Structure 1
Amino acid sequence: MKHTKVKDLLNSAVTLQEVNAKGWVRTFRNNQFIALNDGSTINNIQCVVDFENTPEDILKRITTGAAVSVTGTLVESKGAGQKVEIQVAKLEILGDSDPEKFPMQPKKHSLEFLRENAHLRVRTNAFGAIMRVRSVLSFAVHSYFQQKGFVYVNTPIITGADAEGAGEMFQVTSLPLENLPKNEEGNIDYKKDFFGKHTNLTVSGQLEGETFAMALGQIYTFGPTFRAENSNTSRHLAEFWMIEPEVAFNDLDDNMDLAEDFIQYVIKYTMEKCSDDLKFLESRLLEEEKSKPQAERSEMSLLEKLNFVLDNKFKRVSYTEAIDILRDSTPNKKKKFQYIINEWGADLQSEHERYLVEKHFKCPVILFDYPANIKAFYMRLNEDGKTVRAMDILFPGIGEIVGGSQREERYDVLIEKMKALGISEEELWWYLDTRKFGSAVHSGFGLGFERLVLFVTGMSNIRDVIPFPRTPMNAEF
């Protein structure tokens, strides 16, 4: 008999039918009640075993983590919490699990413990819910852009360009590390490397994406990116996924419209498709909040925070106006901020961004027109000569979630900015070519996918929203 997913069985309106379900045992109570889960839903289905007619050796093998197949009659449940259950007529052990060694016992585990067992943590309710939400969010990203007529572009993972100019990149080489070839100057001779030049894992697909936007009109990339930043914070990963649309003929206002519409769409879509998982994650978060001091507790529940983004028009505020607000704010005057705002030009921190969203405007905020010296070289210089057409979207509880800009389309201005920052024209000749041949106003933004999953699931550590986190000194699994 073909097995039926637990999710479909729980939603079935038809009872007294013979069914087969396969999954993993979450709990086995009183030698009779199996809580079975197959990953299709946060909810388990109860399977009632006829223990009097089931061999003792089979009963002993029904342990937490074991894979089983149950065949029986789907009936209305007499217990509270679910509509149906399976009266088991036939039970088969598909894969045993040692109850003394299986790490994912039915009890509360610390997140650190679960990270150490990342290959098994998805069998817990929390991580099953997180990964289902991540999957649906990923589909929503493609759904939005495909509906809008964007072309999906796979930009290269191996690159010779540093899009951010930060230099914190993972090098790619086939050279023998124990005997590196040297040139006449005594430096490593990259001409003998696989690509004949110095190459790295990409930090962004934006630059290549721009070249496609200038031919296809509107494109998006969605793929893995890498940063060799030696940071062990709860917000950094060495390997992460980026969503990066680029649109020809869009100015900064168009870019803000696109980003707001996009992010509201994917959140709404996920709330509709993952209601059970999000309710579970909200309950989990509320339990966690109880253990925190009152001052550190969130003012909004998870679903309230998500609806806060859906129900409010994003407030658009210039960087200059934001600095004035922050400089005159009570926490700044009373030195409650860790980073005090004294003057224009300061690089805003998460505490400042959250103050603007949660305390001052009480809605999502889009900051724009940042100082040129704290933003990337490719952002369009304003007429004042000191600010650029940059934008950041700020959310409650997390601060910046989207960063973007109108791109610098003027060849001469871009050249001057690259010279000032010491960025090689020779290395980016192909990027500069797009400013020579039919250049036009264009804009785009980047959204770290894990940052989005973090916000939607209510988790506090970015390592808990990616299947196998890559961080300094950690490339396990």
Structure 2
Amino acid sequence: MNAYSIKELLSSPPLQKEVVINGWVKTFRSNRFIALNDGSTLSNVQCVVDFDKFEENLLKQIATGAAIRVTGTLVESQGRGQSVEIQASEIFIHGTADPETYPIQPKKHSMEFLREQAHLRVRTNTFAAVMRVRSALAFAVHQYFQQNGFYYFHAPIITGSDAEGAGEMFRVTTLDEKTPPLDESGEVDYKSDFFGKETNLTVSGQLEAESYAMGLGKVYTFGPTFRAENSNTSRHLAEFWMIEPEVAFADLDDNMDLAEDFIKSIINYILKNCEEDLSFLEKRLLDEEKTKPQAERSDMPLIEKLKFVADNEFKRVSYTDAIDILRNSKPNKKKKFQYLINEWGADLQSEHERYLVEKHFKCPVILFDYPANIKAFYMRLNEDGKTVRAMDILFPGIGEIVGGSQREERLEVLRNKIKALDIDEKELWWYLDLRRFGTAKHSGFGLGFERMVQFATGMGNIRDVIPFPRTPQNAEF
């Protein structure tokens, strides 16, 4: 007999029929009631054990964390808290779990403790719910782009270029770490390395995606990216996933339209398909909020916040107008901001972004036309010579979630920008070729997937929305 998943069993219960279910024991009460979960849903199935029908030795092996198979008859439950239960006729132990050493016991655990048990934390309700929402979001990403004429492009993970120009990259090498070959000037001779040049793990697939958009029209990446930034914050990871669409013949307005429609689409997907998990995560967040000072509490419950983004038009505001608003705001005048806004050209911080979204406009905001000197070299220079066709999307509670731009398609303008930043033109010869052969306006953006999962689940730390977080001094598991 084929085993049911618990989700299948509860969605259309085959009452009075024999069923088989596999899962992990959540609790075993009074040597009679087994709460079983298989990860397919937040809900457990209660399996009722007749003590006289089973050997005592077998029942002793049933403890929290044990993996078992239960065969029995599905009936309407006589107890409260569940609609159906299984009257067990046969139990098979797949694997035991010693109650003295199994770390995920049926009690409240701290997030810090669960990060130390990242290989087991998905067996908790919180992390199982987060990972199911993450999976649904990933599906929604692919579904949106595939239904809108985009081609899925696999950007290289090993690269010789630094798309962001930040230099915070992980080096990839096969050279001897103790005695690498040196050139005449005493520097490491990368010509002797595996690729014959210095290479790193990618921080972005954008530059390569641009080249394929200029042949396929519309492409998107969805893959791992890496940044060697020594930042131990709740918003940073060393390994994370990026979604980066690139569209030929699209300007900044097209780019903003695409980003807004895409975000609303994937949020609506989880609102429709993850109702149980989102309700659980909302309750968890509300309980957590009660422990915070009033000033730090969120203005909106989780599901309301998701609907707030999905149902509201995103307000489009120029960087220049945003600076004026911030400079004249009460928090700035009363010096409540940690970073005061005094003049045009300031790089906005999370506190400024959240003020614009949560206090001033009270809706998601798209800022555009940023100063050229605080943005990347590949962004299209405006006619004023001091701003670029960049855009960032700001969300409540999280600040920036999307960054994008219309790309600089003019060869000489791009060459001048590269030269001014002291970037080696030879390293980007192929990127410049896109401007030599059939150049056209084109645009794209990047969405950090973990940032979106964090927003969608209400989790306070980005390390809790990726299966195995990679952060400074932490590459366990």
User: How high is the TM-score relative to the length of structure 1?
Assistant: 0.99
Unaligned runs of 5+ in 1: none
How do residues 244-283 of structure 1 correspond to structure 2 at under 5 angstroms?
Answer: 244-283=244-283
Are 1:167 and 2:167 an aligned pair?
yes
How do residues 8-407 of structure 1 correspond to structure 2 at under 5 angstroms?
Answer: 8-407=8-407
Identity of aligned residues (%): 75
Tell me, in whole angstroms, the C-alpha distance in 2 between the residues paired with 1:56 and 1:193: 64
Unaligned runs of 5+ in 2: none
Tell me, in whole angstroms, the C-alpha distance in 1 between the residues paired with 2:94 and 2:156: 42
SS at match of 1:212: helix
Structure 1 position 152, deviation (Å): 0.5
Are 1:472 and 2:446 an aligned pair?
no
Structure 1 position 81, deviation (Å): 2.3
AA partner of residue 53 (structure 1): K
Structure 1 position 434, deviation (Å): 0.2
Deviations 1:303-351 (Å, cap 9, x if unpaired)?
A: 0110000110000000000000111111111111111111111100111
- The answer on whether the counterparts of 1:36 and 1:46 sit within 8 Å (CA) in structure 2 is yes
Tell me, in whole angstroms, the C-alpha distance in 1 between the residues paired with 2:70 and 2:105: 22
Tell me, in whole angstroms, the C-alpha distance in 2 between the residues paired with 1:297 and 1:55: 52
Structure 1 position 80, deviation (Å): 2.1
Structure 1 position 30, deviation (Å): 1.1
AA partner of residue 112 (structure 2): E
Partner of 2:438: 438
AA partner of residue 51 (structure 2): F
SS at match of 1:208: helix
Runs of 4+ in 1 over 4 A off after TM superposition: none
Tell me, in whole angstroms, the C-alpha distance in 2 between the residues paired with 1:187 and 1:14: 71
Are 1:2 and 2:2 an aligned pair?
yes
Structure 1 position 13, deviation (Å): 3.9
- The answer on whether the counterparts of 1:64 and 1:99 sit within 8 Å (CA) in structure 2 is yes
SS at match of 2:427: coil
- The answer on whether the counterparts of 1:226 and 1:240 sit within 8 Å (CA) in structure 2 is yes
SS at match of 1:426: helix
SS at match of 2:320: helix
Judge which range, 269-278 or 218-227, deviates more. Answer: 269-278
Structure 1 position 14, deviation (Å): 2.9
Tell me, in whole angstroms, the C-alpha distance in 2 between the residues paired with 1:59 and 1:291: 40
Paired residues, number = 477
AA partner of residue 46 (structure 2): Q
Structure 1 position 53, deviation (Å): 2.0
Structure 1 position 18, deviation (Å): 0.4
Deviations 1:136-162 (Å, cap 9, x if unpaired)?
A: 100110000000010111010000000
Deviations 1:434-472 (Å, cap 9, x if unpaired)?
A: 000010000000000000000000001000000000000
Deviations 1:345-365 (Å, cap 9, x if unpaired)?
A: 110011110111011101000
Tell me, in whole angstroms, the C-alpha distance in 1 between the residues paired with 2:109 and 2:410: 55
SS at match of 1:331: helix
Structure 1 position 269, deviation (Å): 0.6
Deviations 1:359-381 (Å, cap 9, x if unpaired)?
A: 11010000000000000000000
- The answer on whether the counterparts of 1:66 and 1:93 sit within 8 Å (CA) in structure 2 is yes
Tell me, in whole angstroms, the C-alpha distance in 2 between the residues paired with 1:218 and 1:174: 36
Structure 1 position 93, deviation (Å): 1.1
Structure 1 position 252, deviation (Å): 0.2
- The answer on whether the counterparts of 1:370 and 1:387 sit within 8 Å (CA) in structure 2 is yes
Structure 1 position 407, deviation (Å): 0.2
Tell me, in whole angstroms, the C-alpha distance in 2 between the residues paired with 1:413 and 1:73: 73
Tell me, in whole angstroms, the C-alpha distance in 1 between the residues paired with 2:356 and 2:44: 42
Tell me, in whole angstroms, the C-alpha distance in 2 between the residues paired with 1:11 and 1:261: 31
SS at match of 1:460: coil
Tell me, in whole angstroms, the C-alpha distance in 1 between the residues paired with 2:89 and 2:237: 48
AA partner of residue 148 (structure 1): N
- The answer on whether the counterparts of 1:36 and 1:47 sit within 8 Å (CA) in structure 2 is yes
Structure 1 position 384, deviation (Å): 0.4
Tell me, in whole angstroms, the C-alpha distance in 2 between the residues paired with 1:328 and 1:189: 54
Partner of 2:460: 460
Deviations 1:175-224 (Å, cap 9, x if unpaired)?
A: 11121101111111100000000000000000000000001000000100
Tell me, in whole angstroms, the C-alpha distance in 2 between the residues paired with 1:215 and 1:348: 35
Deviations 1:115-138 (Å, cap 9, x if unpaired)?
A: 001000001000001111111100
AA partner of residue 116 (structure 1): E
SS at match of 2:382: coil
- The answer on whether the counterparts of 1:10 and 1:82 sit within 8 Å (CA) in structure 2 is no
Structure 1 position 85, deviation (Å): 0.8
